Structure 1
Amino acid sequence: MTARIDPKPLNELAANGSAVEHIKDRSDYLRGNLADDFRNPITAAISEDNVQLVKFHGSYMQDDRDVRLHRQEKKLEPAYSFMIRLRVPGGDLSAAQWIKLDDISNQYGNGTSRITTRQALQFHGIIKFDMKNTIKAMDAALLDSIAGCGDVNRNVMCTPDPALSRVHAEVFPWAQKISDHLLPQSRAYHEIWLDEEQGKTLVAGGEAAETEPLYGKHYLPRKFKIAIAIPPFNDMDVYANDIGLIAVAENGHLAGFNVAVGGGLGMTFGRDDTYPRLASVIGFCTPEQVLEVCFHIVAIQRDYGNRQDRKLSRFKYTLDRFGLDWFQQELHERLGFALSKVRAFEFATTGDRFGWRSSTDGLWHLGLRLEYGRVLDNDTHRLKSALRAIAQQNLSGFRMTGNQNLILTGVREADIEVVENILHEHGYAPDASHLSGLRRNSIACVALNTCPQAMAEAERYLPDLISKLEVSLDKYGLRHDDIKIRMTGCPNGCGRSVLGEIGLIGKSLGRYNLYLGASFNGDRLNRLYRENLDEAAILTVLDELFTAYATHRREAESFGDFVIRAAYVNQE
């Protein structure tokens, strides 16, 4: 398989490319001077160029914003540290890997780990001088952070629930296959962090071999995301991805995938030319075709994506700029065949399932509700210690979900009571039925205190806000209704807030825009309802909506459908 590099964007790079494009251009395939910068003992930070470059190695530089002003007053450098995000296609970890990752969080991180909305695991609080040891420890667990961030294809997601059907066993491995197929080929990661000897592979004639056969010297214009969903569950929010693959089963076996393209949820306040977009379903491919289909879709974005304005660089803008008809023709020319007609499918929900279920192999799994993916011990429960104890006894595997939850997989029936006892002993209920439907279906991004993009709180605030909203839920008999609420500290979309039936996007400290009306199954975006609300206003507005919903909803009508039907927001 060969990739066609369109020279036009590259020729225009010197004059018109963004600053990040120039950093990639002079990086020597992601090497730059990262190795020297991380050895620099003068500062806990790295250079501005390397802040961008280290993202391709799966890390972001952050500082503790809770103490930023205090340190400025003391004329101290900000409290810099690094977040490292693992690449875990499909979110699948063994018990042995879980133990090693738990060790990393204790030895090098802030004592916690966090399941992300892309089914990966990330560590916070890694200091600069521990980065290399951290990545070596990850490597010892047969894991890496390559493509965890940066302008490449990110972690490939897949519906993780092994109890869905026998088809699941056929679908799940494709997450790993696609991830491997689209992985950057530069050896910079191995040279810088794992002490691999630097060298260039030569081909006949003594020329250096092409380092990146897919990505080229400049990689992609922006990040790229792929997810696989298995109907009727859209727990991956498949339409939020640059490529969404919807598994189609026939006669109990995987027939192939419906292909959706151009999803993306981020936007920028004050720029009407930025917007969220759901992916468009364009056709069907067989399993044998899916790697080639993904490869060439990525290559089209590489060749035609906007490299001048990073706010407009995502694949969704490329599609809207050139049109779906153009894109499909370009894709068909590169593939040498046309996608088949879309096959029938139907989604029911974007939510996870909690509690015990038997799987098709005669074993059991347990869906655990985690509060925004954070694995920690605190005053109310010691989940981190409980999961470690389960892993140490090799009682289960671990699969992370796209909704920041965790599934314990492969549990023998004889061990169910053992697992439950461990969780109870550590103050953690194995069943989420005691939680309100709003809390069970909530998602929040990290936001403050570590995310540099955050304008407001999310993970640290949403639990308290939900407690106050539960007063209204109880008043109107809605406590156990599944209503999906999502909060992000900025409009970048990490918590998929624009796909929440209730979406809250931070504008400034303590103030949020309120969005309403996304569908329960993830095929409709929400719409702006009120701007710049403080907590009191949020509680008042949602109390009014909850009473209207309880009084006037139709049978089995979701909250998102109700606010559309009642014209609180328009569908279009």
Structure 2
Amino acid sequence: MVKTPISPAQKVSKLENIKEHSNFLREPLASELLEDTNRFSQDAIQILKFHGSYQQYNRDKRAKGQEKDYRMMLRTRNPGGFISAQLYSTIDGLSDEYGNNTLRVTTRQGLQIHGILKKNLKASISAIVKSMGSTLGACGDINRNVMAPPAPLKNRPDYGYAWEYADKIADLLRPQSNAYYEIWLDGEKAISVEEDPEVTAARQRNINGTNFEEGEEPLYGQHYMPRKFKCSVTVPGDNSIDLYTHDVSLVVITDDSGELLGFNVLTGGGMGRTHNREETFPRLADPLGYVAKEDVFDLMKAILATQRDYGDRVQRRHARMKYLIEDWGIDKFRSQVEEYLGKALEPFKPLPPWEYKDFLGWHEQGDGKLFLGISIENGRIQDQGDFRLKSALQKITKEYSLPMRLTANHNLIFYEINPIDQADIESILLHCGIVSDPEKIDSLTRYSMACPALPTCGLAVTESERALPGILERINNVLARVGLAGEEIVIRMTGCPNGCARPYMAELGFVGSAPESYQVWLGGDANQTQLAQPYIDKLPDKDIESFLEPLFAYFKQDKTKQETFGQFCQRVGFEALRTFSENYTPPKPRRVRKNQHRVSVQDAMFARLKQASQDEKRPMNQIVQQALEAYFAEE
């Protein structure tokens, strides 16, 4: 029999009782949805998360004595980042009809709609499900969206296996309660892709106590997981999904002919932490072992059961699987997993070095067709000034019905593109001000990520998405000042320590610690294979330049060939960084010549001027001078 996760005498967190009395994710959500109010209660909010939505409010509009402007954020569940043309069109339309006219690509390869009123939530979820999508399990104490490399490399069988098993594991660990369909579709299940019979059989098979024999949830029971549970599937060498940051990561292992043999398994990664709580910390996943393909579903159940039954249900900040493994050690954890599995795992197979890939730009997908990776700054799909990404994606989707894959770096890939359509698609992008050539994208912007933070996230203590573009511009200026213009540095920012944009893996990570202040982490790797470390607890936004200049100057002075900023920080150590910074004297600024004057231009025009400068590889003032001379010559 399965171990009972909660004994009657055990003191547990409040949320455990909410889950227990929810009737398998129904109440009080179902009842409150029928009420003519603009918000849910705190208990209903917790159950709402399992259905893929968070209740938020616009913190920019909050005024003393007035009720909060409550809105819902809705998040999709789409394994491997797959979004069909039909589903994208539906979600895009919902963002205009019920949302805030934008979409957000998440760092777990999903889409978010912000700004939905409570009264429109049911219509929104119903429309998504009827377009072959889902939001079930996108949030909550449950298996989240299963990630996989987004590249549609049709001549690489291992990439195909990664997609296939991301789908199958998502199905295997999907909640079985009918609550989702009862609440959002009045009990009607929309037409969906038939689940693989092998997955159905594996879920139903009770091996050494992995399953509950009673109730609607054979794997989760009435208490579900202690906290969220995150999985990924990738191929050797491809770290486009930050494999060390998940509870479970599978690595496809094939034979020389490309046939699937099994999977390397890593467990115990996670990013979330709490400021000033040393017992909370980010952690990299450990190698667990190797499993043959025929045992992979039973292994996933065994890992889930171990965390389900032994994870901390008293202290939620200590409830992730990474803490269980940290407390037990990987050997004890492996032994418990093997007890559920009923057999020993094989040793971890050798792997090549990991490399981060973003797949931006045009590529041949291996079968004569093309795919196109489009960079989306901070994942925000919107029309703003001359840059009309939302309109471009609408037009491409409508005219070509292309499937897409979202990426872990919150970008987007269109694929199955006929080569004859390449020029027309490029024309649409150009007309909407979108750059498809990754070499023309600012290098800091290309590799950066930020969480949404203010004004929608209730956990944010400071800005992130809205602040990062300006901060990157300031950092670029510092890099240019020390002779490192164009340097590639992985920069990630979050408005709180929960780590949604995975800042603890960045070469330079900013983590909100107070209004307009950030904790700074240094020393991550460009390929996301090593953990950064906290360098300073509270850096005011206004001091970013003076803080970074000596670090960059030291990097410029002493870096080795091909060494990245994160590798440099790890090599020299924080003591050396601090010593150099304390003794650093900024070079005297150049004397401004008397014939130099400043002229202001609108933001959109400046962006175009900056892009032209990069494209033509000449200074902006030279382009302006030439344009003005041509203008006055016409008079």
What TM-score, normalized by structure 2, do the two folds share?
0.84
Contact 1:297 1:331 in 2 (8 A): yes
Q: Does 1:89 align with 2:79?
A: yes
What TM-score, normalized by structure 1, do the two folds share?
0.93
Map of 1:201 onto structure 2: none
Deviations 1:213-242 (A, max 9, x none): 000010000000001222322111111000
- Whole-angstrom distance in 2 between the partners of 1:157 and 1:477: 38
Identify unmatched segments of 5+ residues in structure 2. Answer: 190-212, 578-635
Matches within 5 A, 1:83-122: 83-122=73-112
Contact 1:60 1:84 in 2 (8 A): yes
Map of 1:205 onto structure 2: none
1:171 CA drift (Å) = 2.1
Letter in 1 for 2:182: E
Map of 1:231 onto structure 2: 236
- Whole-angstrom distance in 2 between the partners of 1:324 and 1:6: 21
1:172 CA drift (Å) = 1.2
Map of 1:214 onto structure 2: 219
Deviations 1:438-490 (A, max 9, x none): 21100101111010110111111001100111112233443433210000011
- Whole-angstrom distance in 1 between the partners of 2:167 and 2:129: 17
Letter in 2 for 1:237: D
Identify unmatched segments of 5+ residues in structure 1. Answer: 199-207
Change (3 A) 1:90 1:66: same
- Whole-angstrom distance in 1 between the partners of 2:187 and 2:275: 44
Contact 2:354 2:529 in 1 (8 A): no
Letter in 1 for 2:24: Y
- Whole-angstrom distance in 2 between the partners of 1:324 and 1:355: 40
Map of 2:247 onto structure 1: 242
Letter in 2 for 1:355: G
Letter in 2 for 1:370: I
- Whole-angstrom distance in 2 between the partners of 1:268 and 1:569: 25
Instruction: Find runs of 4+ consecutive structure 1 residues off by over 4 angstroms.
Output: none
Q: Does 1:190 align with 2:181?
A: yes
| Aligned alpha-carbon RMSD (Å) | 1.8
Q: Does 1:394 align with 2:400?
A: yes
Deviations 1:183-233 (A, max 9, x none): 0101111101110179xxxxxxxxx95200000010000000001222322
- Whole-angstrom distance in 1 between the partners of 2:173 and 2:381: 30
Aligned pair partner of 2:573 in 544, 567, 570: 567
Aligned pair partner of 2:261 in 220, 240, 255: 255
Map of 2:201 onto structure 1: none
Map of 2:34 onto structure 1: 39
Letter in 2 for 1:168: Y
Aligned residues: 552
Q: Does 1:136 align with 2:126?
A: yes
- Whole-angstrom distance in 2 between the partners of 1:295 and 1:401: 26
Please, which moves more after superposition, 467-476 or 410-419?
A: 467-476
Contact 2:232 2:250 in 1 (8 A): yes
- Whole-angstrom distance in 2 between the partners of 1:365 and 1:252: 25
- Whole-angstrom distance in 2 between the partners of 1:78 and 1:187: 32
- Whole-angstrom distance in 2 between the partners of 1:39 and 1:149: 22
1:410 CA drift (Å) = 1.2
1:561 CA drift (Å) = 0.7
Change (3 A) 1:569 1:544: same
Letter in 2 for 1:103: G
1:45 CA drift (Å) = 1.1
Letter in 1 for 2:7: N
Letter in 2 for 1:233: D
Matches within 5 A, 1:471-490: 471-490=477-496
> Highest CA radius of gyration, 1 or 2?
2
Letter in 2 for 1:83: M
Map of 1:505 onto structure 2: 511
Contact 1:166 1:360 in 2 (8 A): no
Map of 2:158 onto structure 1: 167
- Whole-angstrom distance in 1 between the partners of 2:449 and 2:257: 33
1:367 CA drift (Å) = 1.1
Matches within 5 A, 1:438-517: 438-517=444-523
Aligned pair partner of 1:27 in 11, 15, 22: 22
Aligned pair partner of 2:3 in 6, 12, 20: 6
- Whole-angstrom distance in 1 between the partners of 2:148 and 2:180: 25
Letter in 1 for 2:256: N
Map of 2:12 onto structure 1: 17
Contact 2:272 2:281 in 1 (8 A): yes
Deviations 1:126-157 (A, max 9, x none): 10000100011101211111001000000000
